[in-house]
């Protein structure tokens, strides 16, 4: 996976209300949260599935196998080559790599959400998360409770992808961090105190307050 790191997304993942999006045909699955699609107008786009974070297949010479391959294989079944999908994009549709951010649907299936529901990807929620933070949080909580995918007791993922990237990159988080359950927020160093399904990220303290979150004690 070409990773979304904290520094990559800070200026770009302002995920507002989704547009109607576009229809496309899947050309290739890149990894557990990225596909390449061909639009009806002939444009080929790399789509980063928004609101999720799959285990890393390749990052700074390291990987999170076998979980990365598990996610990629499942995505290839959910969105096989040649299948028609619909991509709904947020208000800010591109990340710094030029990838299109979007919710990917095949028929009635929200593929982003299904990967989280099956425990093959974790939520990565940047306010306002296309208005779907609760759905992704609930899907992850269910996967954790049932021991699915990366939560399987006999083969649990030892480190979530976001923390894996921060550690390898020698970086500290700098998003302000909200807790979806308590509606409180804290400074960037509180990132690791919250489970992925509890955490929503804000660009600034002011944004957290504007979203109705109170500063944690």
- What's the predicted TM-score (pTM) here? 0.88
Per the domain annotation, does 90 fall within a domain? yes
DSSP string, 74-133: HHHHHS-TT-EEEEE--SS-B-TTSPEEEEEEETTEEHHHHHHHTTSSEE--BTTGGG-H
pLDDT in tens, 131-149: 899 999 999 999 999 999 9
CATH of the domain at 167: 2.40.50.90
Percent of the chain's residues with pLDDT above 70: 89
The reported pLDDT for the residue numbered 11 is 32
Mean pLDDT, range 153-176, rounded to an integer: 95
pLDDT of residue 20: 67
Domain count, the chain: 1
For the chain, the average pLDDT equals: 90
Please give the positions annotated as active site. 48, 56, 99
Alpha helices in the chain (DSSP H): 6-9, 67-78, 111-117, 133-146, 161-169, 205-210
Any domain includes 16:
yes
Q: Distance (Å, rounded) from C-alpha 203 to C-alpha 32?
A: 26
Structure-derived torsion over alpha carbons of residues 30, 34, 39, 43, reported in degrees to the nearest 10: -70
Residue 210 lies in a domain: yes
Dump pLDDT digits (tens) for 27-66: 999 999 999 999 999 999 999 999 999 999 999 999 999 9
CA 215, CA 73: separation in Å to the nearest integer? 41
On whether residue 150 sits in a domain, the answer given is yes
Gap between the Cα atoms of 136 and 142, Å rounded: 10
pLDDT category of residue 19 using cuts at 50, 70 and 90: low
Residue 176 lies in a domain: yes
In tens, the pLDDT along 93-105 reads: 887 778 899 999 9
24: β partners: 39, 85
Lowest mean pLDDT of 28-32, 40-44, 82-86, 87-91, name the range: 87-91
CB of 168 closer than 8 Å to CB of 64: no
Establish if 1 belongs to a structural domain. Answer: no
- Give residue 91's domain range: 6-215
131: in domain: yes
């Amino acid at each position: 996976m070409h990773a979304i790191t904290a520094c990559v997304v800070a200026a770009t993942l302002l995920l507002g209300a989704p547009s109607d999006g576009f229809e496309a045909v899947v050309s290739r699955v890149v990894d557990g949260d990225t596909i390449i699609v061909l639009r009806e107008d002939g444009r080929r786009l790399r789509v980063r599935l928004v609101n999720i974070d799959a285990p890393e297949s390749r990052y700074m010479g390291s990987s999170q196998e076998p979980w990365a391959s598990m996610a990629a294989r499942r995505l290839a079944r959910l969105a096989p080559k040649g299948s028609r999908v619909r991509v709904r994009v947020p208000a800010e549709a591109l990340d710094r790599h030029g990838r299109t951010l979007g919710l990917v649907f095949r028929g009635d299936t929200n593929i982003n959400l299904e990967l989280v529901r099956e425990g093959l990807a974790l939520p990565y929620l940047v306010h306002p998360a296309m208005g779907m933070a609760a759905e992704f949080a609930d899907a992850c909580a269910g996967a954790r409770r049932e021991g699915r995918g990366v939560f399987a007791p006999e083969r649990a993922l030892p480190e979530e992808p976001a923390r894996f990237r921060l550690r390898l990159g020698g970086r500290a988080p700098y998003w302000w961090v909200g807790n979806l359950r308590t509606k409180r927020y804290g400074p960037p160093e509180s990132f690791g105190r919250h489970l992925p399904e509890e955490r929503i990220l804000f660009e600034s303290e002011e944004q957290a307050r504007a979203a109705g979150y109170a500063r944690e004690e």
